[in-house]
């Protein structure tokens, strides 16, 4: 049961976190990182202040040690024994210390650490007290045995804490016979450090809370353009894609985001327009043959007619139905190519052989219009392409050339090599395409003849299929045309070397 409650709490936490607004998330992340840095700075400052305070105490203790050693005529590296030590708390030393304190009060009135009372103690190497100052009374200072050098440390003295130094007293044989211990109270320093802790402790949450509020306000101001993006995007539908997101004043990441979204909406608008035109064109192209067939059959059933008339009308209806079936096949083919689910089977193919077979297939259609097809090809025209798709591309381009060429004209096919590419051009002597319409000829259902005359038998899908098939094989398709002079389609393919 407890485990289930824990899991539910975790889920609730993650759910609340996932729905948190962007401005709150930014403020939270920034506050967490800043809180960590501020806490680190506070800790470093406290440690530095603590070290400075204790360093000043150590300096005072060091000065006191020198005075005691001088007044008591003790040598730390040539200790003569405890019998030779004068009273470390005699009247002369007290007077000397009082005079020093008076002078210190006059000249160092602004010291951060004021040492009010010193404690002095002499112990032998076993820690037994041999002598001590009167200020210690019945108390003794802490002793750390087996210390080879001067040691500074804190210790408890009654209800308070003192800072003390322990100096080894070594005889001329290098043997430590005892220790001089000097201590000063650190009550005032502890009060200062405690006050500093309280300042850091109480100011930290106030700083963090203030920082979170300010960061949230700044983040909210910064993401106002995103709110405008969201508001504009929510208003956009298929019927009003002309709306655009207002661009921010500053050319920053949000400006780039707005520009990118506007460009995306523009592409979507163009795509929807193409789909609308496609739907209208497809409906028109399918409706026309159906209307023709329907009208023809209605006329046939009104009254009896001759057999030859029935046969002619039925042949006409079959022609229209075949034309509609061909249109549907092309639409399905185009849909498959645009779905990007078809992967071309790229291999090394000889372009010249494909063109020769193409001319052979198209020659009857060209002969009907007395059109001559010429071919100028170089050797070694191997390219990387899908053979089936390549045949379909060449078939569409050449059939269009025959369809739109006048009688008794010439279609020229040329294949040449240029660096690492093979260039194939197919030129006709037709009426040509106006320059302003060249960029649109690869669109679905587009015809230069806007009257949609079906006398040529085309639907405006052939060049769309050519473009899709070429893009799948990374073949570049371009077109040039001059009115009343003719049109040239050019295919640029990557050369494919074949090991012989």
Residues 286 and 454: beta-carbon distance below 8 Å: no
- As a whole number of angstroms, the distance between CA 22 and CA 28 comes to 10
Fold of 74-105+113-188: Beta-Lactamase (3.30.450)
Name the residue with tokens 């790229």.
Answer: 346
- As a whole number of angstroms, the distance between CA 93 and CA 97 comes to 6
Residues 140 and 122: beta-carbon distance below 8 Å: no
pLDDT at 101: 45
For the chain, the domains span 74-105+113-188, 253-336, 343-494
The pLDDT tens digits along the chain (500 residues) read: 556 566 565 556 555 556 677 778 888 888 899 999 999 999 999 999 989 988 888 898 888 888 888 887 788 888 877 776 656 654 444 444 444 444 444 334 433 333 357 888 888 888 888 888 888 878 888 888 888 888 999 888 777 888 889 999 888 888 888 899 998 888 888 888 889 989 999 999 999 999 889 988 888 887 777 777 788 778 777 677 777 878 877 788 878 888 888 888 888 887 777 777 667 666 766 776 788 788 888 888 888 888 888 888 888 888 878 877 877 776 776 666 665 566 788 889 988 888 998 898 888 888 988 999 998 888 778 898 988 888 888 988 998 899 889 999 999 999 998 888 999 999 999 888 888 888 778 777 666 655 444 455 556 677 887 888 888 888 999 999 988 889 999 999 988 765 54
Residues 33 and 208: beta-carbon distance below 8 Å: no
CATH architecture under which domain 343-494 falls: 2-Layer Sandwich (3.30)
- As a whole number of angstroms, the distance between CA 141 and CA 226 comes to 70
pLDDT at 102: 46
DSSP string, 354-392: HHHHHHHHHHHHHHHTT-EEEEEE-S--EEEE-HHHHHH
- As a whole number of angstroms, the distance between CA 96 and CA 94 comes to 5
Does the model's pTM come out above 0.75? no
The 10 Å Cβ neighbour count of residue 474 is 13
Please tell me the chain's helix, strand, coil percentages from 3-state DSSP, rounded to the nearest 5: 55, 15, 30
CATH class of this structure's domain 253-336: mainly alpha
Listed in sequence order, the residues at least 6 apart from 302 whose beta carbon sits closer than 8 Å to its beta carbon are none
Q: What contacts 24+ positions apart, CB below 8 Å, involve 432-437?
A: 432/481, 432/482, 432/483, 432/484, 432/485, 432/486, 432/487, 433/479, 433/481, 433/483, 433/487, 434/481, 434/483, 435/481
Residue 177 backbone dihedrals phi, psi, to 5 degrees:
-95, -20
Across all residues in the chain, what is the average pLDDT? 80
pLDDT at 92: 42
């Amino acid at each position: 049961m407890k485990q289930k409650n824990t899991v539910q709490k975790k889920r609730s936490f993650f759910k609340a976190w996932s729905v948190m607004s962007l401005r709150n998330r930014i403020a939270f992340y920034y506050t967490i990182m800043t809180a960590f840095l501020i806490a680190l700075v506070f800790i470093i400052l406290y440690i530095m202040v603590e070290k400075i305070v204790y360093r000043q105490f150590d300096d005072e203790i060091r000065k006191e040690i020198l005075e005691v050693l001088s007044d008591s005529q003790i040598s730390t590296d040539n200790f003569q024994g405890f019998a030779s030590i004068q009273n470390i708390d005699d009247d002369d030393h007290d007077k000397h210390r009082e005079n020093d304190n008076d002078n210190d009060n006059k000249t160092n009135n602004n010291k951060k650490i004021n040492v009010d009372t010193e404690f002095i103690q002499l112990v032998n190497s076993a820690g037994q007290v041999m002598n001590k100052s009167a200020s210690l009374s019945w108390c003794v200072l802490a002793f750390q045995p087996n210390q080879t050098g001067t040691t500074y440390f804190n210790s408890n003295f009654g209800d308070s804490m003192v800072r003390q130094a322990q100096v080894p007293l070594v005889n001329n044989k290098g043997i430590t016979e005892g220790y001089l211990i000097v201590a000063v109270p650190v009550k005032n320093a502890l009060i200062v450090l405690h006050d500093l802790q309280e300042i850091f402790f109480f100011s930290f949450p106030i700083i963090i809370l203030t920082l979170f509020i300010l960061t949230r306000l700044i983040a909210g101001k910064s993401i106002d353009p995103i709110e405008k993006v969201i508001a504009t995007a929510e208003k956009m539908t298929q019927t009003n894609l002309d709306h655009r997101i207002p661009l921010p004043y500053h050319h920053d990441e949000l400006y780039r985001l707005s520009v990118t979204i506007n460009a995306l909406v523009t592409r979507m608008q163009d795509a929807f327009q193409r789909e609308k035109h496609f739907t209208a064109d497809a409906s028109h192209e399918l409706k026309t043959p159906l209307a023709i067939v329907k009208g023809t059959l209605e006329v046939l059933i009104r009254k009896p007619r001759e057999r030859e008339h029935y046969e002619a009308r039925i042949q006409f209806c079959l022609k229209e139905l075949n034309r509609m079936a061909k249109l549907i096949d092309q639409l399905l083919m185009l849909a498959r190519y645009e779905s990007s689910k078809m992967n071309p089977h790229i291999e090394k193919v000889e372009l010249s052989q494909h063109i020769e077979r193409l001319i052979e297939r198209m020659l009857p259609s060209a002969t009907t219009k007395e059109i001559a097809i010429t071919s100028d090809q170089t050797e070694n025209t191997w390219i990387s392409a899908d053979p089936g798709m390549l045949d379909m591309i060449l078939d569409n381009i050449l059939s269009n050339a025959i369809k739109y060429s006048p009688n008794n004209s010439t279609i020229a096919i040329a294949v040449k090599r240029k660096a690492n590419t093979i260039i194939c051009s197919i030129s006709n002597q037709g009426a040509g395409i106006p320059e302003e319409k060249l960029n649109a000829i690869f669109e679905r259902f587009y015809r230069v003849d806007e009257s949609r005359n079906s006398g040529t038998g085309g639907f405006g899908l052939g060049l769309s299929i050519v473009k899709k098939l070429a893009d799948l094989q990374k073949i570049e398709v371009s077109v040039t045309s001059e009115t009343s002079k003719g049109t040239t389609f050019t295919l640029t393919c990557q050369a494919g070397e074949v090991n012989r």
